Structure 1
Amino acid sequence: MHNIKLTLEYDGSRYQGWQRLGKGESTNTISNKLLEVIHKMTAEDVELFCGARTEVGVHARGQVVSFKTTSDMKPYEIQHYLNRYLPMDIVVLSAEEVPQRFHAALNARSITYVYHIATGTVPSVFGRKYTYYAFKTPDISVIQQAALSLAGKHDFKSFSTAKKNKSTEKELYDITICGDSEEIQITLKANDFLHNMARMIIGTLLEIGLGKRKKECIEAIFAGNDVSSAPCKPRGLFLQKIEY
């Protein structure tokens, strides 16, 4: 039995996220497309594990996946086969055999997301799937001040739509906001993310930066005295990196 680790890049625009189960279940997901080609390659029904379950419309530059197979194909052969038969908007950047104990989901130490906000005077036709266009430029300094309250270990249940029976305490290691006259980038690095957590944090920071909310609302949201803003649009969000 071989344990295979894949690093993927994908355009999430036309997919229902990494996986969609239960209500609204769909086969049009990144994981399903990958499983179909792996089955074609190995004639096995493997179990896939991913480092982060990206949501509907979210992209990835560094998704990590692991699965076990009895196939004796070399990692470079697996990579070549998958890239030949996967849709063009899903690419295997690398494939390698790893120790049996490696698990893409359980062994992740940190996950990084980057959100791209276009702030130019005219929206780009070609950037529309990969950036969120803000018709008014958010105040970066105000967002940076508000972000200070988010860093560290907190109960992020108010910044998530996660089921309440799941632990909602996470640690946000780093949050950076930088940009110029054309684009602002918000980068979040944490030990893990709850469902919609990254998008709800960014949505709240955007409203603060646009003057729709005060930066003090962050503390009120954590205390349960206020609610977070609606999730930001998924098209500007990228799963950037997963560290092990």
Structure 2
Amino acid sequence: MASAKRSAGESLRYRATVAYDGSDFLGFQYQARGRTVQGELEEAIRRVTRQQVRVAAAGRTDAGVHAIGQVISFCVEWSHSVDDLQRALNATLPPDVAIRDCRVVRPDFHPRFDALWRRYRYTVLNAPVRSPLERRYAHHVAEALDVAAMRRASRHLIGTHDFAAFGQPTQGVSTVRQVLQADWVDESPRLVFVITGNAFLRHMVRRLVGTLIEVGRGRRSPEDIAALLERGDRAAAGPLAPAGGLCLMEIGYSD
């Protein structure tokens, strides 16, 4: 994190890594009515810098989805250090949002278009009894799941495929995405699905998880995942897993 002071009147672009508990938000993207992460960030920047800005983000998480590694950028005039800017923003933001890192970047940096990959994790609490303390952060499944079958099914996701059966594009029409990593980690009683890809369709990770849980329940075979990728029939895929289990972990860039 840079700490050099900047000249007054000099507008610079800042990149920030943001963490938030998505439970009480309608999602990341600003909405005229309702609480959003973008709205809280822009209000904090306005209060600290006395400048009205629009932040750009690497991804638009849905209502209830959490993040540890969301990346945003914004341009402001700020004559103090970057450390001071981060401290001031964190002092102004509500308790469920925090700036984890802040730095000056090149003027044309864009958190979405410059991203090389994104990593998500989805947590399933696979235990007979639910945990009230984890209800916002893990999807409870009481029935014992076949983790080995879920891992075999996940291998079909790796590579470049048409994921039309699992989501919709947020922009454009292409549903082809490249998945670099997809696997389940057994942290009993929690099962954690980790997936890394160049980009994701809307609801893609949650529908993948819902379908993979059906594999774990024995309602589908691992090979059904390959068939769904081939057919592209969203109606044939599994249900959408609840939002609370999903967390945006990290976004990769060339620098």
TM-score (norm 2): 0.89
Confirm or deny that 1:214 pairs with 2:221.
yes
Confirm or deny that 1:127 pairs with 2:137.
no
SS at match of 1:130: coil
Q: How does 1:28-43 map to 2 (within 5 A)?
A: 28-43=35-50
Aligned to 1:15: 25
Q: Amino acid of the residue matched to residue 182 of structure 1?
A: P
Q: Amino acid of the residue matched to residue 169 of structure 2?
A: A
Q: Amino acid of the residue matched to residue 246 of structure 2?
A: L
Question: How far did residue 81 of structure 1 move?
Answer: 1.2
Inter-partner Cα distance in structure 1 for 2:171 and 2:76: 35
Confirm or deny that 1:235 pairs with 2:248.
no
User: Does the 8 Å CA contact 1:16/1:56 hold for their aligned counterparts?
Assistant: yes
Q: Please identify runs of 4+ aligned residues in structure 1 that moved more than 6 A.
A: none
Q: Amino acid of the residue matched to residue 230 of structure 1?
A: P
User: Does the 8 Å CA contact 1:13/1:129 hold for their aligned counterparts?
Assistant: yes
Distance 1:173 1:28, change over 3 A: same
1:165-196 Cα shifts (integer Å, max 9, x gaps): 43211100011111143111100000011111
Distance 1:111 1:27, change over 3 A: same
- Which of 103, 108, 112 does residue 105 from structure 1 map onto? 112
TM-score (norm 1): 0.93
Aligned to 2:165: 158
Question: How far did residue 121 of structure 1 move?
Answer: 3.4
RMSD (Å) for aligned C-alpha atoms: 1.7
Inter-partner Cα distance in structure 1 for 2:83 and 2:173: 38
User: Does the 8 Å CA contact 1:38/1:44 hold for their aligned counterparts?
Assistant: yes
Question: How far did residue 204 of structure 1 move?
Answer: 0.8
User: Does the 8 Å CA contact 2:170/2:201 hold for their aligned counterparts?
Assistant: no
Question: How far did residue 224 of structure 1 move?
Answer: 2.2
Count residues with an aligned counterpart. 241
Inter-partner Cα distance in structure 2 for 1:150 and 1:82: 39
Q: Amino acid of the residue matched to residue 125 of structure 1?
A: P
Distance 1:20 1:100, change over 3 A: closer
Deviates more, 1:182-191 or 1:156-165: 156-165
1:176-226 Cα shifts (integer Å, max 9, x gaps): 111143111100000011111111111111111111222222222222274
Question: How far did residue 42 of structure 1 move?
Answer: 1.8
1:4-61 Cα shifts (integer Å, max 9, x gaps): 111111100010111155xxx6441100111111111222221211112111100001
Q: Amino acid of the residue matched to residue 242 of structure 1?
A: I
Confirm or deny that 1:6 pairs with 2:13.
no
Question: Identity over the aligned pairs, expressed in percent?
Answer: 30
Distance 1:167 1:241, change over 3 A: same
User: Does the 8 Å CA contact 1:16/1:26 hold for their aligned counterparts?
Assistant: no
User: Does the 8 Å CA contact 1:52/1:111 hold for their aligned counterparts?
Assistant: no
Structure 1 residues without counterparts, runs of 5 or longer: none
Structure 2 residues without counterparts, runs of 5 or longer: 1-10
